Amino acid sequence: MFPDSHSSLCLFSFLLQLSNIPYVTHRLPVLSVCSHPLFFLFSLTLHWDPDPSTLQLHSDSELMGRGAVRLGMSKLTQVDFLPKEMVSYSKETQTPTDALSQSDQKAGRQALFLSFFLLNSGLFTAVYTPKELTEEEKLQVLHSEEFLTFFERGSRIVERVLAEQVDVCFDYSGRDLEDKEGDLQAGAKLVLNRRFEDERWTKNRVVTCLDWSPQYPELLVASYNNNEDAPHEPDGVALVWNLKYKKPTPEYIFHCQSEVMSAGFAKFHPNLVVGGTYSGQIVLWDNRSNKRTPVQRTPLSAAAHTHPVYCVNVVGSQNAHNLISISTDGKMCSWSLDMLSQPQDSLELVFKQSKAVAVTSMAFPLGDVNNFVVGSEDGSVYTACRHGSKAGITEVFEGHHGPVTGLSCHSAVGPVDFSHLFISSSFDWTVKLWSTRSTRPLYSFEDSCDYVYDAMWSPTHPALFACVDLSGRLDVWNLNNDTEVPTASVGVDGGAALNRVRWSHTGREIAIGDSEGHVHIYDVGEVR
Amino acid sequence: MEEYNSGDDVLFNTDENSALVKECIEGVIGGADYDHSKVNQWTAGIVENSLTHLVKQGRAFKFIVNCAIMQKSGAGLHTANSCYWDTTTDGSCTVRWENRTMYCVVSVFAVAL
């Protein structure tokens, strides 16, 4: 049935009115009516104009294709910069009265503890079952002071005993020595006694200095420069070797951060070893401390040395002594061994007010603490004095054509005073003999065919001196015998360049350091 | 096997970004010694520089860059960081750099947009 026109017209007008009313179009659906006159054919098309946020959510999940976002903990990132280790040395000067009472108390306490423990462990069975220590307790024991002291001493003693190889079948009548070796030994003048080297500490290093201990004639300190093949090992090493026992390892191992160019036992302090380094620092090692690093160091400042220190020496007497050090820029500092934080005295060694002396070697004549001689890189030897109005360089001795490498003042004591004599070795292949009384050399020993690296007078025999050169030769000259050629000469095995020579204080042994880190000890026989 | 995302655009590439940040650091404090008067400029420079380069890559990430410069004086420095995020798309990298007089630590965090 067709709807009658009146009702359709009403509907149409009502709808028109509806569309005219202003309302929020987003909230309510807007109906649009198809304007076809045939109302039964009109259709309603609904267009949703929804909230944009809801639309977004819908499309998001459609696009990304994931539901809830899964979160997890990431790995922990850590950054660590470790603090620098500061080595400190403290010295106590407490008088011993307090310490006595403390040790008494300690002994009393220990006795009490022991008795208590014994009581507890059972009256009938005195069996002590060892208690298993925890890891922490073990570490604590290993790091305690007492254990470290005991271990250092104990391990040294055990090493000596293990290396002992004594021949119990030796026949003193000499019947067994029928081979030539015996004959040669009887008449030989220079015989190799020992060779010291260490796989870890001396390989690839050059021996820079040697010194015998004044207190224990069997101890020898040798200093070494850096090992280029091992950049992580310390640059400067000083080892104390022991001649008395057959153990092949060093008695004490000391090291520091910069190459050690000179070293020596401190003369009136038997426990201290002094070293002068490439950086200009003077370091002090103490064999009472269980540390291998220096216990005291001079500061790296302009007040001290800033150039390599090639000469260190303790001069003076028991009560009044100083450590003298000279660096290659001509600065001479004197230090007190108790306080290395600043020099007691410093002096610039300049020649003729302007030319600084590049010092490579230094020597004090016997018994003299004021006057000394220095050798420099320009080939001249200078005498100088430490105190007084003429402090500084006094005279120049010219004669060498190359840098002076070693100096030695005559030190043998005897009826005639030869303390004004000194010898110098140089790159010009010669060793020259001088007197402090004259600026021209007294004599020139020209037997060597290579750089002469060091020379030293014998401390006991007034006419003997030894020198070493780059070709691996050790020459011992006897001036009573012959001044043209050395009286005894031996080539060191291996042919390495020899850097240093030092007579022992008894005058019966010579220690030689070479460029491969070996220290050779030669026994000196009858050198007449 | 989890879904393997071969697209570099979505994952944070630690190595590449470490190298980028390292270059930025070198560019700002490369040959210099620690200078108290300049250190503020340096940290700002490093952070801005790194951030610019990271954004220039054009990836859809939010970046957080943190820079610390410490003078070498013998003291120790320890830092740590951790994050709770979507481990498949987000990432971080920490770059350490040092020269004779100072340490520099830069941390970059990238959170996917």
A365: number of Cβ within 10 Å: 20
Q: Which amino acid is at A1?
A: M
CB pairs under 8 A between A and B: 56
Kindly determine whether residue A81 and residue B70, on different chains, have CB atoms separated by under 8 Å: yes
Q: Do B79 and A76 touch (CB under 8 A)?
A: no
Residue A341 · residue A299 · CB < 8 Å: yes
pLDDT value for A106 = 58
- pLDDT at residue number A26: 46
Which residues in chain A are closer than 8 Å to B90, comparing Cβ atoms? 74
Mean pLDDT within B101-107: 91
State mean pLDDT over B4-28. 78
Determine the pLDDT at residue B109: 92
Is pLDDT above 90 for B106? Answer: yes
On the question of pLDDT at B8 being above 90, the answer is no
CA distance A69 to chain B (A): 7
Q: Are the beta carbons of B78 and A77 separated by less than 8 Å?
A: no
Contact of A501 with A474, CB cutoff 8 Å: yes
Tell me the C-alpha distance between A106 and A98, whole Å: 13
Scan residues 47-76 of B and list those with Cβ closer than 8 Å to A. Answer: 70, 74-76
Handedness of CA A375, A378, A382, A388 (dihedral sign): negative
Residue A73 buriedness (CB in 10 A; 0-12 / 13-18 / 19+): exposed
pLDDT recorded at residue A438 = 86
**Which residue on chain B is closest to A69 by alpha carbon?**
B86
**CB-closest option in A71, A77, A78 to B84:** A71
Please give the single-letter amino acid code of residue A62.
E
**Residue A404 to residues A54, A86, A87: CA-CA distances in angstroms?**
96, 39, 37
Distance (Å) from the alpha carbon of A76 to chain B's nearest alpha carbon: 5
Residue for token pair 């500092």: A333
Query: What pLDDT score was predicted for residue A48?
Result: 52
Q: Averaged over B66-84, what is the pLDDT?
A: 89
Question: ipTM more than 0.95?
Answer: no
**Whose CA is closest to B89, among B105, B65, B110?**
B110
Residue B55 has pLDDT above 80, yes or no: yes
Angstroms from A253 CA to nearest CA on chain B = 26
For A418-429, the three-class secondary structure string (H helix, E strand, C coil) is: CCCEEEEEECCC
The residue among A90 and B75 whose pLDDT is bigger is B75
Low-confidence ranges of chain A (pLDDT < 50): 1-2, 21-43, 54-59, 61-63, 122-125, 179-187
**Which residue in B83, B101, B104 has the most chain A C-beta atoms within 10 A of its own C-beta, making it the best mutation to test that interface?**
B83
- pLDDT at position A186 is 43
Give mean pLDDT, residues B6-29: 81
Residue B87 — very low, low, confident or very high, per pLDDT cuts 50/70/90? confident
State the DSSP code for B26: H
Q: Does B107 reach chain A within 8 Å, measured CB to CB?
A: yes
Rounded to a whole number of angstroms, the distance from the CA of A296 to the nearest CA of chain B is 19
The predicted model scores a pTM of: 0.56
Residue B10 has pLDDT above 90, yes or no: no
What is the structure's pLDDT at A128? 66
